[in-house]
Amino acid sequence: MANWNQEKKTDGTTPENADEEMAVAGSDAKPHTVSAPSDHAVKWLLPEKSRRYLAELFQGLRGDVTLLVFVKDGVNEPYNQFCSEFVSDLARISTKINPRFASLDSELAQKHAVRRSPTILVQPETYQIRFTGAPAGEEGKALIEAILMASSGESGLAEMSAKILDQLQEPRHAQVFVSPTCPYCPQQVVTAFRAAVQRPDLISAECVETGEHQDLALRFNVGAVPHTVINADHAMIGLVSEERFVAELLTLQSFEGSESPDGSAGHQGHSAPVDMDLLIIGGGPAGLTAAIYAARSGLRTMILEGKTVGGQIAVTPIVENYPGFSSVSGVALVEMMVEQARRYVQIVQGEPVQEVKIGRRVEALTEHGLYRARALLLATGASWRTLGVPGESELFGRGVSFCATCDGYLYKNRHVLVIGGGNTAVTNALYLKNLGASVGVIHRRDAFRAERQLVDALDKEHIPVYWNSVVEEILGTDAVQAVRIRNLHDGEASHIPTDGVFLAIGETANAGLARDIGLQLTSDGSIQVDDRMRTSHPRIYAAGDVTGGVRQIVTAVGQGSVAALSIFEDLSREG
């Protein structure tokens, strides 16, 4: 049995990339004024930058928070050690955090019904918040949020969501299945934790690591993350809004596709209008760059992001063509951009814009508020294109996925097929192979359009390619079992048994708002812009993937800067 009062070593026994991932976890940093706790005799798990960030953040802790860590030697061993080191670090950073370590065989484990190693409980005497598995990746952010919530006793739920939960009269257990590299997962976990803080009498919330607890993931047929299961029965696949989450938690009915689960007109209107010079919709590279440039020009600027910051780059496993970085993970690159942008502007996440009105000022309505600005930049990005074949939508989240970075962990030691022949398809195939999956690629032509370097890497890995082949059907009942493909040269059909299908067949512009406003679009549905990123309507601009073109990170960044400079010029001229 490990001695939990002793310092642990941080050598190769920690989970792979733990340092790097924790650096990501702490990289939402604002300009720092607090020095990092440092004691040269102590072996820290967290890098100095994260410690400095957390030290500043934890200055705002009000009450003490107990973190109870349960482990069993020999089970999920590197993750056990990670948990105890992580929690020990947090306790050294703030005296308000009280760590306790116990064995899975202890009475305490029995008392709290803890059966899996590692498990972390947050403030267990007051709340039912638990991590089943180590928060060693993106979801480390959710642990930090849970600590802040438990310390303040405030859930941070919107007023309407709190009112919905007031109606709850029966117990609810929300399990959110996550993977360490899923950028959408922490937000879903935090929403579940908020609910547990709002109604500690009836709601328990659990973050489950799919990689460490694959048996649980299989039991609940988890094929994509985040995947939320309520009371072991009702499922929500993907990141869902807080409004939808609480409504489904209450009713155990699906509100998928419904904008306002509460039946209201959508805008809850409980906050005062926010006024600014420039409103940017979309927090990917284009929006973040524009924000930096605009704010530095003196424009009062804000970013509204419907989901989570980063856009598609946050789910790009590796980027090798962004100058200055010969190889960097997409999430690390975007975290650096976000950190820089946050120095200048406020970024509001999880607030999709429902409607834009153009009058003397531009107005954007969300469920939570009204935002008014002199100019609007649409940096809404693009979404994955779908095949439109039978089985694709039915099995989405049950083996069909668009995000190798999020869901790849579920397919370790299993077979997957990647569809497409561009950079995304080849990058995803290499990433999945690297995770330990057995991978094949299906491409409709006899040559890839992906970069030579990536194609060479694919050859080197001996990843088989089904050339000149199209997918006609994805087969399976509760989960993907096979695909039926047809060879376009000889017309022959064949079945390929597989566990997962990763689609990477290009993108379509997220131009819904632009269409509603009546902006001119191109023939492929992207927003038409001039060379200064002006759209067909004065004071409305667009940048990044939503404008079509070559859709590279560097071009999105370049367009963001051009848009901001144009906006500054135009608004200055207006006086």
Candidate ranges 8-16, 268-276, 332-340, 415-423; the one touching ligand NAP (CB under 6 A): 415-423
Q: In this structure, which amino acid lies at residue 443?
A: H
Residue 319 makes contact with ligand NAP by CB under 6 A: yes
**424 or 526, CB closer to ligand NAP?**
424
Pattern 346-385, binding to ligand NAP, x per CB under 6 A? ---------------------------------------x
Candidate list 504, 513, 564, 567; residue touching ligand NAP; CB under 6 A: 504
474 binds ligand NAP (CB under 6 A): no
| Residue whose beta carbon is closest to ligand NAP | 422
Task: Figure out which of the listed residues 94, 424, 547, 566 binds ligand NAP, where binding follows CB under 6 A.
Answer: 424
Stretch that binds ligand NAP, among 209-217, 276-284, 302-310, 547-555 (CB under 6 A): 547-555
**Using the 8-state DSSP alphabet, how is residue 8 labeled?**
P
Nearest CB to ligand NAP, comparing residues 142 and 404: 404
Q: Which of residues 320-349 bind ligand NAP (CB under 6 A)?
A: 321
Q: Does position 486 bind ligand NAP by CB under 6 A?
A: no
Amino acid at 300: R
Measured from the CB atom, the residue of 300 and 444 that comes closer to ligand NAP is 444
Q: Please, what's the b/e burial string for 288-327 (b: 16 or more CB within 10 A of its CB; e: otherwise)?
A: bbbbbbbbebebbbbbbbbbbbbbbbbbbbbbeebeeeee
DSSP summary character for residue 328: B
Stretch that binds ligand NAP, among 176-184, 231-239, 430-438, 500-508 (CB under 6 A): 500-508
62-101 positions binding ligand NAP, by CB under 6 A:
none
Instruction: Please report the DSSP string for 9-68 in residue order.
Output: P-STTSPTTHHHHHHHHT----S--SPPP--TTS--SS-HHHHHHHHHHHTT--S-EEEE
* Nearest-approach distance from CB 550 to ligand NAP, in angstroms: 5
In whole angstroms, the minimum distance from the beta carbon of 575 to ligand NAP comes to 40
Range in contact with ligand NAP (rule: CB under 6 A) among 57-65, 483-491, 498-506, 530-538:
498-506
The verdict on 423 binding ligand NAP (CB under 6 A) reads yes
Q: Which of 114, 474, 551, 571 binds ligand NAP (CB under 6 A)?
A: 551
> Of 162 and 470, which has the nearer Cβ to ligand NAP?
470
* Single-letter amino acid code for the residue at 30: K
Among 294, 507, 527, 540, interactor with ligand NAP by CB under 6 A: 507
Q: Which is nearer to ligand NAP, 3 or 523 (CB)?
A: 523
Other C-beta atoms within 10 Å of 572: how many? 11
Alpha carbon distances (Å) from 160 to 142, 201, 218, 266: 22, 19, 35, 11
Contact between 506 and ligand NAP (CB under 6 A)?
yes
CA–CA distances in Å: residue 572 to residues 18, 299, 374, 537, 565:
47, 10, 11, 18, 11
Which 3 state secondary structure label does DSSP give 481?
A: strand
Binding region for ligand NAP (CB under 6 A) out of 149-157, 342-350, 405-413, 499-507: 499-507
Query: Which residues, listed in sequence order, are joined to residue 384 by a DSSP beta bridge?
Result: 507
Is residue 420 at the binding interface for ligand NAP, with CB under 6 A as the rule? yes
Nearer to ligand NAP, 1 or 550 (CB): 550
What is the C-alpha separation between 321 and 554, in angstroms, rounded?
9
Tokens 């004071």 found at: 539
Q: CB of residue 128 vs ligand NAP: minimum separation in angstroms?
A: 41
- Of residues 384-413, those binding ligand NAP (CB under 6 A): 385, 387
Query: Pairing between strand 172-178 and 203-209?
Result: parallel
Helices 285-297, 553-574: inter-axial angle, 10-degree rounding? 30
For ligand NAP, give the closer residue by CB, 192 or 441: 441
Sign of CA dihedral 489, 490, 493, 498: negative
CA 372 to chain centre: 27
444 or 484: whose CB is closer to ligand NAP? 444
Part of the chain binding ligand NAP (CB under 6 A), chosen from 163-171, 198-206, 525-533, 549-557:
549-557
Using the rule CB under 6 A, give the single segment among 29-37, 54-62, 296-304, 504-512 that binds ligand NAP.
504-512
DSSP code, position 325 = B
**Residue 9 or 445: which CB sits closer to ligand NAP?**
445
- Kindly list the catalytic residues: 403, 406-407
Task: Report, in Å, the least distance between residue 114 CB and ligand NAP.
Answer: 41
484 binds ligand NAP (CB under 6 A): no
425 binds ligand NAP (CB under 6 A): yes
Site string for ligand NAP, 428-457 (x = CB under 6 A): ----------------xx---x--------
> Angle CA(372)–CA(375)–CA(380) in degrees, nearest 5?
90
> How far, in Å, CA of 323 to CA of 357, rounded?
38
The number of beta carbons lying within 10 Å of the beta carbon of residue 444 is 16
- Which tokens is 529 given? 């812009």
Q: What is the DSSP string of 500-536?
A: EEEE---EEE--HHHHHHT--B-TTSPBP--TT-B-S
| Closest residue by Cα to residue 519 from 281, 194, 255, 245 | 281
Instruction: Note the residues at the interface with ligand NAP (CB under 6 A).
Output: 316, 319, 321, 385, 387, 420-425, 427, 444-445, 449, 470, 504-507, 550-552
